[in-house]
Chain A
Amino acid sequence: MTKKLTRMFVCLVGLLILGSAVASAGQYNAVVDIGAPMPEFSDLPATDGSTLSSDDLEEDIVVLVFLANHCPWVKGMDADLVALVDELEGQSVRFVGVSVNHRDDDRLPAMKEHALANGYNFTYVFDESQALGRRLGATTTPEYFVFGKDRRLAYMGLIHNSPASKRRDGTVNYTRGEPTDFYVRDAVAALSAGDEVPVAETRSHGCSVEYQRADG
């Protein structure tokens, strides 16, 4: 009888642990939820020839954005990202673009060309290990993760409420017209002011991030 009770207790504890693990996922993210710590990373090669580690980030706010050169949703929103970085210049905010796909057109040589052609005004790194993307549950490009001074996740998802893609004729199409809700900008403003982030998670939209299989 005692053994049976012990087994039931162990099972109950196991279920509770499993339940808490599942609850750690966000509404649209299978891996992390708001409040998750920023994963550490080291010596990721950047398009400017430097390397970047998480310890190098001294700013109060860090914005990690997963990008993929080939993706029309990245191309459609490149200008919005560059404009936002410009707008926040002078504030203690650091934007870091991250590419994790292993396709040739998403690797470092192509990243350098893409950054140059699109006026990227932020550090753009390649994470061949894909560890950063995996640990943050990043599955689309572009997808934003905003961390406060405590390096806890404060926002994840879209840059704004009207995802845009670059059409075949080169024009940009905003799916929901002119954007009206600027989630990343609002999250940065709230964190800077010490306020609660108004919208902490949105459904990101874009191209799939392609993760390698363990045996691949």
Chain B
Amino acid sequence: MPLPRRPTLLRHSALATVIVAMIACAGPAADAPPAATGRDAAAVELRPVTVEEWRIELARLEGRIAVVDMWATWCIPCIERFPHMVELFHRYEAEGVTFVSVCLDDPGDEQAVASARRFLEGQRAVFANYLITENTADAFEKLDLLSIPAVFIYAADGELRYRLTADDPNDQFTDSDVEAAISNLLGELPLV
């Protein structure tokens, strides 16, 4: 059963503030304070895909719990939330949870795409990162998105079990909803 979703609480942490200021200034995200991980930023990739190609990639994730973060550099709440996704990735990677980000920046805006790549590097987002190459309005429609940030969480059988969005003003998701959803799905896995 989907979790009850609650209104968004923007967590204005000092880190988020630094990141937002950096993006707003179009400064190099790679200059961001290093995230709490020792992995090399060189391992960070942003792979351009069409929505159809993304769906194929998504289908390949079946068999594992998959957390998909839809984001863009123009979406400030997305930028504010992203460090939490990276934190969850490190917390749950060993438990077999896959994290993926799908960037919805304007693919024709070279500065925006470069900024997205630098941001991911600054975050040490060493999971799979995709950039949708279709125009953003069409991409939203094909992905059935009204707004971002949005986090889609798939069970190991490939079913979309948690569609966490800000689509309802009275029921916007929070970071704790993401954690609770992952925890619930992990609790459903058979004990080995």
Contacts and interface: CB of A to CB of B under 8 A. Distances in A.
Contact of B147 (A70, A103, A176, A208): A208
Question: In this complex, which of A103, A205, A214 has the most chain B Cβ atoms within 10 angstroms of its Cβ?
Answer: A205
A81 B8 CA distance: 29
Interface stretch (A7-15, A162-170, A186-194): A162-170
Given A139-B167, A139-B168, A203 B7 contact: no
A140 B10 contact: no
B36 interface: no
Interface string B129-140: 000000111101
B115 A30 contact: no
B169 A167 contact: no
A211 B75 contact: no
Interface of A: 28, 30-31, 70-73, 103, 130, 133-134, 137-140, 162-163, 165, 167-169, 173, 175-176, 203-216
Contacts of B169: 30-31, 130, 133-134, 137-139, 209, 211
B106 interface: yes
Contacts of A167: 106, 108-109, 111-112
B170 A165 contact: no
A175 B137 contact: yes
20 contacts: A30-B167, A31-B169, A71-B74, A133-B169, A139-B146, A139-B147, A139-B168, A162-B137, A163-B136, A163-B137, A167-B112, A168-B111, A203-B140, A204-B146, A205-B136, A205-B140, A208-B75, A210-B8, A211-B169, A212-B9
Contacts of B90: none
A64 to B, nearest CB: 14
Nearest to B114: A168
B153 interface: no
Contacts of A163: 136-137
Contacts of A204: 146
B76 interface: yes
Contact of A208 (B77, B112, B141): B77
A173 B8 contact: no
B151 to A, nearest CB: 13
B181 interface: no
Contact of A203 (B26, B136, B141): B141
Given A139-B167, A173-B106, A216 B146 contact: no
A203 B138 CA distance: 11
Interface in B1-47: 6-10, 26
Contacts of A203: 140-141, 146
A207 B8 CA distance: 14
Interface string B103-129: 000101101100100000000000000
B172 interface: yes
A71 B170 CA distance: 21
User: Which 6 A-B pairs rank lowest in CB-CB distance, beginning with the nearest?
Assistant: A168-B111, A30-B168, A175-B137, A175-B135, A208-B147, A213-B7
Nearest to B139: A175
A7 to B, nearest CB: 24
B8 A205 contact: no
A213 B8 contact: yes
Given A140-B147, A168-B111, A211-B8, A31 B170 contact: yes
